[in-house]
Structure 1
Amino acid sequence: MNKEALIDKYNVPVPRYTSYPTVPFWGNETPDVKQWFKHVKRCFSESNQTKGISIYIHLPYCERLCTYCACTKVITRNHKVEDSYIDALLQEWQIYLNEFDEKPILRELHLGGGTPTFFSPENLKRLINGIKSGSTLHTEYEFSFEGHPNNTTREHMQALYEVGFRRVSFGVQDFDPEVQRVINRLQSYETVKEVTEIAREIGYHSVNYDLIYGLPKQKLSSIKDTFDKVSELKPDRIAYYSYAHVPWKSKGQRLFTEEDIPNSAGKRALYDLGKEKLAELGYDDVGMDHFSLPHDNLYQAKIEKRLHRNFMGYNTSHTELLIGLGASSISDAKYAYAQNPKEIHLYKAASEKGELNLVKACNLTDEDLQVKKAILDISCRRELVFSDELKPYLAETIESELQIMADEGILTFDTEKLEVTDLGMTFLRNICKLFDNRLRNAKAGESNMFSKAI
């Protein structure tokens, strides 16, 4: 079976596996804050001194609505919201600090959104200095932020550089003016070029571009032109995402019709062309939509088999405790997950009282922990050892299912180990799916909660 036929076969709804269990299968557990802190403290005591911790901060405000976006956001031009939101973030961080019996060693911090650069440089420095004041920095700490090319100024990048940031990710999506018009994200090549050059001039060692295929009005000519422009700027990393059309979740996506969106064959052609261009430009397939040039530490982490994956995507530091701060943020304490409310007023009201308001939680069983580790090994290290701890949780049909993929050249396996081939990198999510017992046991129709693999 050739690659095109395999893509047709495996282009089915599959989770992105930034967690296991995936969020739709967390069930309806009533979040218990005391129980959550028990998991947090256990994970902290096991890993803080050896690995440190990670922090994700959700900054939800945007001045304009990007119609393709399904993230939690609030559209406003009122910048008076900045101070009280940062106060709430620092109050939430203090809640966690009060639970720790020693200073956390901060290994990784990421600012996401929304639009983090909606906030002024001064307020961003206040936020980061507030986080750092209660922490000890790891010797190999890494701070990163997401920036909108239109409002990320030299002052933003300089201020964040001064408090430790060395990685920046710009949401480019597509350079085609018609595509930009429909998704309401008008930004010129000159603007992207300028912010990229400023970042490098200041000293940022890793610049990422987010690109999306399958957007409304997108054509092969759009992708070709976008990658021609990318080739001139050569970001260190590229995330090449599939557009997820979920108008029932994101009202902004109702502003264009199904007719504007490439059909399955058209979207696959966009994907194929993008992958071809990435290879031509020398980007290595790290896995699950992520690509990097060989000099970038993401590539080095892949080669050295020390990649990790969590709600922030792929990263190079394998911390086991991820604290999510802000509205909608999700935390991962290895043995459990917890999510903050999406509504900003509910989030802020709890923080101001010195309380956590958790709206979702998931406590992992022994089976979940083994499957979680298996999925991380496949997605991060391209291999899986069939340990005695994992074997009891493998499906009865797993051997025959793996054999089909082996016959197709996607992987190799024996009784002891599975390894993903170069061809199989396109199908990482499908391989992980074989070990996803929650999805395997799902009711009819539940699998359609996820976007397609391609």
Structure 2
Amino acid sequence: MQQATSLIQKYNVPGPRYTSYPTVPYWDETSFSSEAWKHTLKQSFDASNATEGISLYIHLPFCESLCTFCGCHKKVTKKHEVEQPYIQAVLREWALYRQLLVERPVIKEIHLGGGTPTFFAPEHLTQLIQGILADSDVAPEHEFSFEGHPNNTTREHLQALYDVGFRRVSYGVQDYNENVQKAIHRIQPFAHVERATTWAREIGYSSISHDLVFGLPFQQLEDVLNTIEQTTRLMPDRLAFYSYAHVPWIKGNGQRGFKDADVPKDEMKRQCYEEGKKALLAHGYHEIGMDHFALSTDPMYQAFQAQALHRNFMGYTASKTQVMIGLGVSSISDSWYSFAQNEKNIDAYYACLENHQIPVVKGHVLSAEDLKIRKHILNLMCAFQTSWADQTMDFPEREDVIQQLVEMEQDGLLQIEQDQIVITEQGKPFVRNICMAFDLHLKRRKPETQIFSMTI
């Protein structure tokens, strides 16, 4: 425990979560334009659509109330008349992409994120998906998934989305302690989660996921273990068990519903993770990637075993597509060769579409160096190892990176071999720190103020 404490104190620094490389603060927007984005997208789409299909992330931003732990882009309202205009806007955006891409898309993945997708009425969600699929093909092996709020996900929501091809649902649980729930403004009894999980199973969903968070305000170790114990009564197929990212300097008052002193720190937070992980492993879950666990029957675990796991702005996925198009306000798209983010302001988003413009406003075109480092970081995040045995994976700064990793090897976090590094069991919680050794943008331009959450 003494060694673990010293490692936490040593490596608990601000760092990216690496849903992309380069990370958003290091996007070079001087080399980006909507035309550059459309060019790289068209190039990637033409090369990969027929062989692997594409992914769609659709951002549905509305929530009826604000959860103070949330770092997502959302708009709080109880006015459900916003639903239909937004659905129409997303379909207009998709129509613009269809005009650009020409060839009929083969859709392999759809993920509805938020906000709260189940803010929308079932018939409006059906309208959205039917509109997307009307002039698209669905890949034979596809995964359609959505994020459901246990308090407002109805059986009708689940049935409507099942009927248009959805087979996976993820429920945000966070923690079952009432004091913690009050602090994060997410009052959600176990009975609601049990009801929504049972409905999904009865309807036929093949993969159900629960999101659990450690490090929340007022949370104690016993709260985390109790939440896991209740979760294992339902045995979801996969779990996200991740650290609360306390970034009030970015998210403003949305994360000021409690004091900084109320948030667990360092050793307490790491103990919650370690003991929680032991409990999950004891119940038959396997650790896959960063902060994720799955049963051996789940496709995510099988993809991890086959070293086919992928990570993008949708999180971890069981298969890779070169193209991921983000639809909706604030969504991020990925052509593999560039990233593009949509307008974050909903009125400005609508205005772009009224002017028949794809509503991207910022992004980054990846250099040859970026592409190599991106592959290494993806390997570390998805397989806990990476190699430069293939010459196409070598890069000029490799020796400097290895020198930075030597100390981590001495601390037992990884093993450096002739042409690869392998993260050890002890090193898995420090995977973000290990990726930072490869992050050439971060090394060249360290932020003057804190812009990332702490890695531990």
TM-score, L = length of structure 2:
0.96
In structure 1, what is the equivalent of residue 40 of structure 2? 39
- Residue deviations 1:107-165 (CA, integer Å, cap 9, x gap): 00100000000000000000001111121111101000000000000000000000000
In structure 1, what is the equivalent of residue 392 of structure 2? 389
Cα offset, 1:281, TM superposition: 1.7
* In structure 2, distance between residues paired with 1:412 and 1:396: 15
- Residue deviations 1:263-310 (CA, integer Å, cap 9, x gap): 323222222222222222221111211111111110000000100000
In structure 2, what is the equivalent of residue 411 of structure 1? 414
Task: Please give the residue correspondences for 1:171-182 in structure 2 after superposition, counting only pairs within 5 Å.
Answer: 171-182=172-183
| SS of match in other structure, 1:238 | strand
Task: Please give the residue correspondences for 1:180-191 in structure 2 after superposition, counting only pairs within 5 Å.
Answer: 180-191=181-192
* In structure 1, distance between residues paired with 2:58 and 2:396: 35
* Aligned Cα root-mean-square deviation (Å): 1.6
In structure 1, what is the equivalent of residue 345 of structure 2? 343
Q: Which moved more, 1:12-21 or 1:84-93?
A: 12-21
* In structure 1, distance between residues paired with 2:384 and 2:223: 32
- Residue deviations 1:68-124 (CA, integer Å, cap 9, x gap): 112111111110000000000000001111011311110001000000000000000
* In structure 2, distance between residues paired with 1:162 and 1:187: 27
Identical amino acids, percent of aligned pairs? 48
2:399 is the alignment partner of 1:399: no
* In structure 2, distance between residues paired with 1:195 and 1:83: 25
Match of 1:380 among 379, 382, 388: 382
Cα offset, 1:431, TM superposition: 1.7
Find runs of 4+ consecutive structure 1 residues off by over 6 angstroms: none
Figure out how many residues of one structure are paired with residues of the other and give that number: 453
Match of 1:313 among 312, 315, 333: 315
| SS of match in other structure, 1:356 | coil
In structure 1, what is the equivalent of residue 327 of structure 2? 325
Task: Please give the residue correspondences for 1:214-225 in structure 2 after superposition, counting only pairs within 5 Å.
Answer: 214-225=215-226
2:419 is the alignment partner of 1:424: no
* In structure 2, distance between residues paired with 1:259 and 1:428: 26
In structure 2, what is the equivalent of residue 301 of structure 1? 303
| SS of match in other structure, 2:302 | helix
Instruction: Confirm or deny: 8 A CA contact 1:285 1:425 kept in the other structure.
Output: no
- Residue deviations 1:188-247 (CA, integer Å, cap 9, x gap): 111110100110110111111111111111112211221111121111111112111122
Instruction: Confirm or deny: 8 A CA contact 1:67 1:183 kept in the other structure.
Output: yes
Cα offset, 1:382, TM superposition: 2.6
Q: 1:69 to 1:3 in 2, by over 3 A?
A: same
Q: 1:353 to 1:173 in 2, by over 3 A?
A: same
Cα offset, 1:321, TM superposition: 0.4
- Residue deviations 1:335-375 (CA, integer Å, cap 9, x gap): 11000011111111212332123221101111001111111
2:264 is the alignment partner of 1:262: yes
Instruction: Confirm or deny: 8 A CA contact 2:112 2:146 kept in the other structure.
Output: yes
Q: 1:342 to 1:165 in 2, by over 3 A?
A: same
Q: 1:430 to 1:216 in 2, by over 3 A?
A: same
- Unpaired segments ≥5 residues, structure 2: none
2:365 is the alignment partner of 1:363: yes
Q: Which amino acid aligns with 1:430?
A: N
Q: Which amino acid aligns with 1:279?
A: L
| SS of match in other structure, 2:415 | strand
Instruction: Confirm or deny: 8 A CA contact 1:31 1:358 kept in the other structure.
Output: no
Q: Which moved more, 1:63-72 or 1:305-314?
A: 63-72
- Unpaired segments ≥5 residues, structure 1: none
Q: Which amino acid aligns with 1:182?
A: A
| SS of match in other structure, 2:379 | helix
| SS of match in other structure, 2:65 | coil
In structure 2, what is the equivalent of residue 234 of structure 1? 235
In structure 2, what is the equivalent of residue 273 of structure 1? 275
* In structure 1, distance between residues paired with 2:326 and 2:172: 21
Cα offset, 1:396, TM superposition: 4.0
In structure 1, what is the equivalent of residue 198 of structure 2? 197
Q: Which amino acid aligns with 2:211?
A: D
Match of 1:289 among 273, 288, 291: 291
In structure 1, what is the equivalent of residue 207 of structure 2? 206
Q: 1:241 to 1:9 in 2, by over 3 A?
A: same
Instruction: Confirm or deny: 8 A CA contact 1:157 1:199 kept in the other structure.
Output: yes
* In structure 1, distance between residues paired with 2:223 and 2:182: 13
In structure 2, what is the equivalent of residue 452 of structure 1? 454
Instruction: Confirm or deny: 8 A CA contact 2:63 2:77 kept in the other structure.
Output: yes
* In structure 2, distance between residues paired with 1:238 and 1:232: 13
Q: Which amino acid aligns with 1:141?
A: H
Instruction: Confirm or deny: 8 A CA contact 1:60 1:114 kept in the other structure.
Output: yes
- Residue deviations 1:312-353 (CA, integer Å, cap 9, x gap): 111011101000000000000111100001111111121233
In structure 2, what is the equivalent of residue 166 of structure 1? 167
| SS of match in other structure, 2:316 | strand
